[in-house]
Structure 1
Amino acid sequence: MAEIAVIKCGGSIVDGLSEQFFHNIATLQQNGVKPIIVHGGGPAIQKLLDKLGVPFTFINGLRTTSAAAMNVVEMVLSGQINNTITRKLNVSGIQAVGLSGSDANLITAVPKNFQIYGYVGDVVDVNTLFLERILEQEIVPVIAPIAAGKNADRYNVNADTAAGAIAQATGAGKLIFVTDVPGIIKEEGLLHSASEAEIEDLIVRGVIHGGMIPKVKAAIACLNHNLHNVMIADANQVINDAGFTGTMITKSGEAV
C-alpha cells in the first residue's frame, strides 16, 4: 500500500480550517499519499458542558468524563465536528467518510483509571484491516477519538494519543499534528527540528508549555522503527510536493 499520513487536527482549529487545508489533503493524494484525519474538539466540548451545567475537571491535562459528559463528548465529536470536516472534504472534491472510533471497533480502549478520570480510555487496539479497506478505495477516513470498550461502554480518548495509536498500527510513514501555529517557537523563531531529548529540555525550561506539552509527548511516544519523525505544523500553510513543513521531532541520535 502507498504511504499513509495520519493528520491530527486540534479541536481549536476546526472552525478555522481554510480552503488551503483541504487543497493540501488533495495534494497529498495526488502525490500518492493516503491521508487519515483524526480530530479533537476540546473547546466545543467545554462550551457545551458549561452550557448544560455538566461538571468536569482537568487532571494531568485530561478532562474527567462522567457518563453525562461522555454523552456530550460523543455528541460534539461525532455529531458536529466530524460531520463538519467530512462535509468540507467532500465539497472540496475529496471523497471522505466520517467515523467514530467505536464504528467497527475501529479504536478499542480500556479505562485509564475509572476512579480518577471516569470514561477516559487508553487505546489497546486499532482495526487496521477496516482502515486499509477504506484507504484502498481512495477514501479519506475522518475519525472522532471515541473508543469502544467492553459491555458497550464508550471512552473519550485524547485525540493526540488516538492519532499516534492509529499511526503506529497502520505503519504510517507520516504523522502530522496540524494546529494554528507553524510549530515550536523559540526566541529565535521557528524550531525546524528537535530530538526527544531536546524536547524534554525545552519542556523543563518552559519554552514548550500549555497545550503544546501533550502534543510533543504524544509525538515522542509514536516514534518507532516505522515512524522516524513526527511533525507539528500550521494546518493552513501552502504545501508543495514535499508536504507540510514545521517542527520535525526525531528520536535522539537520529538525523532528520
Structure 2
Amino acid sequence: MEEDSGPVVVIKFGGNAMVDAQLQQSFAEDVVELRRAGLRPVVVHGGGPQISAMLDRLGLESRFEAGLRVTTAETMEVVRMVLSGRVQRELVGHINSHGPYAVGMTGEDAHTMTAVRRPAWVDGAPVDIGQVGDVVEVNPGMVRALLTQGHIPVVSPVARGADGQVYNVNADLAASALAVALGARRLVVLTDVAGLYADWPASTEVIGRLTADALDGLLPGLASGMLPKMEGCLRAVRGGVGRADVLDGRVPHAVLRSVLGGDGAGTTVVPDEDHAVSPA
C-alpha cells in the first residue's frame, strides 16, 4: 500500500500511558506497527499529569471545572512549555527510536487549529475557565503533507484564536476535530478505565458498543473526566468518522490489539445507522 493512500487513524494518547515508561514504549511500538501495516496514524497527545506537576513545582493552582483545566495567562505559558517542550519531544523520541517517522507540531502551526473561548457548564450555568478553547476550524493541510511524506504527525493540542489569543484545547476534543477534518476511518481515545461504564459507580460493567444517539442521551449524566472523551467520540462519528473507540491505556499494546487484532475491549461508538448496542 502506498504511504499516502492508506486510511487515517487518529489516536489520542493520554492518561497513565503517558507517565509509565513501559506503556510509552509499547504505545510507540503500536503506532509504528500501524504505519507498517499500511495505515496512516496521527497522534494527538494530552499532558494533564505533567502540567499539574509543573504547576505544583511553580506554586500555581491546578483547578478544574466540568473536567476542563482552568487556564489563566500564567497557566497557559506552562501548558505550552510542558506540552510542546517536554511531552511531545518524549513521544517523538520514543516513536523515532523505531525509525525516522514522527514529526512534532502544535495546533498553532500553519493555523492547523483555530479555537474560540469555551465556557464550562456547572449546574446549567456557564463558568469562565480562562484560555480554554474549543476548535471551530481545522486546516489539515500540514498534517496531510506529513502523512503523504510517510511521517507520523504528533500534535500538541494548543490552538490560536482569530483574536490572536492562544488556547489550551482538551486533547480528546482536539483529536476528534482533527479526525473529522482528515476524514479518518477511526478515532482511538486512550484513557485510564476499561471503557464507558453502564452504571457507574454501582457497576463496572462496560458498554461494548453504542450508537451516536444512544451516547448523546448518556452525556448529561457522565462523570466530568469521561465527559470530554465521549463528547469527542460523539462529534467524530457525527462528523463522518467511521467509528470511535475508548480503550484502556493501562493495557500494553491496547491500540494494536484493537485496530489490527480486532480486540473488542473498551467502548466503541458507531454512527446511528448501526443500531447494535451491547455490554462487553
TM-score under structure 1 length normalisation:
0.88
The Cα shift of 1:38 comes to 0.3
Aligned mates of 1:221, 1:229 — CA distance in 2: 11
Q: Is 1:217–2:231 an aligned residue pair?
A: yes
Number of residues of Structure 1 aligned to a counterpart in Structure 2: 254
Higher deviation after alignment, 55-64 or 93-102: 55-64
Pick from 248, 267, 273 the counterpart of residue 247 of structure 1.
267
**Aligned residues of 2:180 and 2:239 also touching (Cα < 8 A):** no
Within 5 Å, give how 1:118-197 maps onto structure 2: 118-150=130-162, 152-186=164-198, 187=203, 189-197=205-213
**Aligned residues of 1:98 and 1:143 also touching (Cα < 8 A):** yes
Q: Which amino acid aligns with 1:49?
A: L
The match for 1:97 is 103
The Cα shift of 1:59 comes to 2.2
Q: Is 1:28–2:42 an aligned residue pair?
A: no
Aligned mates of 1:84, 1:244 — CA distance in 2: 28
Pick from 107, 112, 125 the counterpart of residue 118 of structure 2.
112
Local SS of the residue matching 1:184? coil
Local SS of the residue matching 1:108? strand
CA RMSD of aligned residues (A): 2.5
Query: Which of structure 1's runs of 4+ aligned residues deviate more than 6 A?
Result: none
**Aligned residues of 1:183 and 1:191 also touching (Cα < 8 A):** yes
Q: Which amino acid aligns with 2:157?
A: P
Structure 1 stretches of 5 or more lacking a match? none
Aligned mates of 2:119, 2:260 — CA distance in 1: 43
The match for 2:123 is none
**Aligned residues of 1:11 and 1:39 also touching (Cα < 8 A):** no
**Aligned residues of 1:193 and 1:250 also touching (Cα < 8 A):** yes
TM-score under structure 2 length normalisation:
0.81
Q: Which amino acid aligns with 2:240?
A: N
Aligned mates of 2:28, 2:108 — CA distance in 1: 25
Local SS of the residue matching 1:219? helix
Q: Which amino acid aligns with 1:251?
A: P
Provide Cα deviations, 1:29-50, integer angstroms capped at 9, x if missing partner.
1221100000111121122222
When residues 88 and 65 of structure 1 are mapped into structure 2, their CA distance, relative to the original with a 3 A threshold, is same
Query: Sequence identity, in percent?
Result: 35
